Structure 1
Amino acid sequence: MKKVLVFDGIAQKAIDYLKENNLTVVSNKQSRDSDFLDNQDADAIILMMHQIAEPILNQLNNLKIIARYGVGYDNVNLEDAKSHGVVVTNTPGANATAVAETAVMHMLMAGRYFYQERQSITGESLKPQKGQEITGKTVGIIGFGAIGQKIDELLSGFNVNILAYARHAKTVRNGRMASLEEIYKQSDFIILALPATPETTHMIDETVFKKMKNTAVLVNIARGAVIDEPALINALQDGEIASAGLDVVTEEPATKDNPLLKMPNVFVTPHIAAKSIEAFDSVGLAAAKEVVRVLNNEKPLNQVN
């Protein structure tokens, strides 16, 4: 029987589906290179966040597919995988609702300083200024795939004007497609919902912050690498933008000495946008189905390399 390496705690629905398709499932923490190299006969991997590149791939001679448990795939070297004939897939749309809801939450928390206000109950007030409402505002969404489109849908009740940016034109429920320049200059809220790639790494830098409104709220539910973090800290300190809501930062897990955690105009969560019961099951099953397709010599639905 063919063997699939998964991570401890994977959704049971994914395990059940793999076994129903006559695959052997083995599990470990996927926290060290040795967790992979101890399973050199694996035909497939359902991968969380560990980095996979040549040193590991070179020793997994049976490997046919790496199925990322989520949308981002920046922890897999796509060229190395391709050179070894390994298909890399992701699960776009499977966690879109959970991530989109998190984006809206960050808009509210960062826009209205709710967390900072709550701290005043215990005498730990971070002295925020008055926050702003979402209703009637212009919201820029950079990255308009399944998650970006779901954010657009969820914001329908707020009577917002959406400016959306993507490589290809798409229907925008509450607004229109726009250029990055328009989004930077016109938006009251800017939401990052795009993958981290060589082209998008540090795309939000010092130059971009100077284009934004001083009242702008920046929300990142994408990847920390998309933002130049020192430039973000300076922009927040200098009043170039009003506040930020971040589910991701450059170094994860976030360290206690990250200055963003102590700033009075920042709200941070520990990369939990997709952490819901429904999303976990949906993503797991989607990844498992990609594994079965590839091991059955069928074309995957969401190959990224």
Structure 2
Amino acid sequence: MKKVLVANLTAKKAVKYLEEKGFEVIISDQASDDDFLSHTDVDGILIMMHPFGESLMAKMPNLKVIARHGVGYDNVDLAAAAKHDIVVTNTPGANATAVAETAIMHMLMAGRLYYQRRELLTDATNAAYLSAHNGQEISGKTVGIIGFGHIGQNIDRLLTGFDVNVLAYARHSHEVVNGRMATLDEIYEQSDFIVTALPATPETTHMINADVFSKMKSSAVLVNIGRGALIDEAALIDALKNDVIAGAGLDVVEHEPISADNPLLQLPNAFVTPHVAMISQEAMDNVAIKAAEDIVRVLSGGQPRFPVN
């Protein structure tokens, strides 16, 4: 019987699906390398965020497929996987609605300073700042969306009721429900809200930097539900401290999990959540089932639906 190692947060529906297909399912915390090295004979892995590279792959001779629970796969070494003939897959679109809803929430929270106003009930630290900053509404504004795949298009769709003008950027042209495709400079210079929804690649790392902040409106709110590496965090902190931009809503940061002493957690114009955009019951079920289906395809001798490498 072939074995599949899955993270302990994997939806029960996916575990049941794998078992019904005849696989032995091993559930692990996937919190350290040892959680993988305790099961070196597995044939497949349904992986979440733990880094997985050459040192682990070399010790797993039976491993044929690594299915990433989500869209981003920057924690998996693709070159090492190719070297060991391991197929890597992901699950595009499976959590797009959950992440898009989170983007809207961050626009509201960072734009209107709701979290900081809630804190006033027990902590007056930001009272002076809040008395001088009223925040801004989304309605009627220009929203730039950088990255217009499943998530970006869902954000555009969800914004319909806000009567916004959407400027969307992607490598390929798409229909934009509430606006049009645009250049990056158009987005930086014209947007009241900017949402980044891209993966981390050598080309996108620190694409939002000090030079870009200087192009933005001083009233702009930046929301990142892509990857923390997209933004030069030091430049962002400087921009927020010096009112170069008005605010930021971040579900991701450069180094995760975020440390308690990260300045972003102390700034009155930043709202941070701990990489939870993809977490909803529906999304967790959809992502896990798609990942499990590709594991079954590969281990049954077929081709995956969503190959990465």
TM-score by length of 2: 0.97
Match of 2:145 among 122, 133, 141: 141
**What does 1:227-246 align with in structure 2 at a 5 Å threshold?**
227-246=231-250
1:202 alignment partner AA: H
CA distance in 1, matches of 2:158, 2:226: 17
2:269 alignment partner AA: N
How far apart are residue 87 of structure 1 and its match?
0.9
1:111 alignment partner AA: G
CA distance in 2, matches of 1:290, 1:167: 27
How far apart are residue 124 of structure 1 and its match?
3.0
CA distance in 1, matches of 2:91, 2:283: 11
Q: Which residue of 1 aligns with 2:91?
A: 91
Q: After TM superposition, which residue ranges in structure 1, 4 or more long, deviate above 2 angstroms? A: none
Deviations 1:10-55 (A, max 9, x none): 1000101101111110011111112112211111000011101111
CA distance in 2, matches of 1:41, 1:284: 22
1:37 alignment partner AA: L
2:171 aligned with 1:167: yes
Q: Which residue of 1 aligns with 2:264?
A: 260
**What does 1:73-152 align with in structure 2 at a 5 Å threshold?**
73-126=73-126, 127-128=129-130, 129-152=133-156
Q: Which residue of 1 aligns with 2:5?
A: 5
**What does 1:168-207 align with in structure 2 at a 5 Å threshold?**
168-207=172-211
Secondary structure of the equivalent of 2:73? coil
Deviations 1:38-90 (A, max 9, x none): 21111100001110111111111111111011111110111111111111111
- Identity across matched positions, percent: 61
Q: Which residue of 2 aligns with 1:250?
A: 254
1:54 alignment partner AA: E
Secondary structure of the equivalent of 1:244? strand
Q: Which residue of 2 aligns with 1:58?
A: 58
Secondary structure of the equivalent of 1:123? coil
1:53 alignment partner AA: G
CA contact (8 A) 1:40 1:60 kept: yes
How far apart are residue 125 of structure 1 and its match?
4.5
Q: Which residue of 2 aligns with 1:49?
A: 49
Deviations 1:233-258 (A, max 9, x none): 00111111100000111121111100
Secondary structure of the equivalent of 2:174? coil
CA contact (8 A) 1:116 1:125 kept: no
- Tell me the number of residue pairs that the alignment of Structure 1 and Structure 2 aligns: 305
Secondary structure of the equivalent of 1:292? helix
CA contact (8 A) 1:117 1:125 kept: no
CA RMSD of aligned residues (A): 0.9
Match of 1:153 among 138, 154, 157: 157
Q: Which residue of 2 aligns with 1:208?
A: 212
Deviations 1:72-122 (A, max 9, x none): 111011111111111111111111111100000000000011111111111
CA distance in 1, matches of 2:274, 2:36: 26
Secondary structure of the equivalent of 1:122? coil
Q: Which residue of 2 aligns with 1:222?
A: 226
CA distance in 2, matches of 1:302, 1:198: 22
Listed as ranges, the gaps of 5+ residues in structure 1 are: none
1:24 alignment partner AA: E
2:66 alignment partner AA: I
How far apart are residue 9 of structure 1 and its match?
2.7
CA distance in 1, matches of 2:231, 2:302: 37
Match of 1:281 among 279, 282, 285: 285
CA distance in 2, matches of 1:298, 1:171: 34
CA distance in 2, matches of 1:172, 1:163: 8
Secondary structure of the equivalent of 1:107? helix
1:62 alignment partner AA: N
2:280 alignment partner AA: S
Secondary structure of the equivalent of 1:121? coil
1:267 alignment partner AA: F
Q: Which residue of 1 aligns with 2:273?
A: 269
Q: Which residue of 2 aligns with 1:21?
A: 21
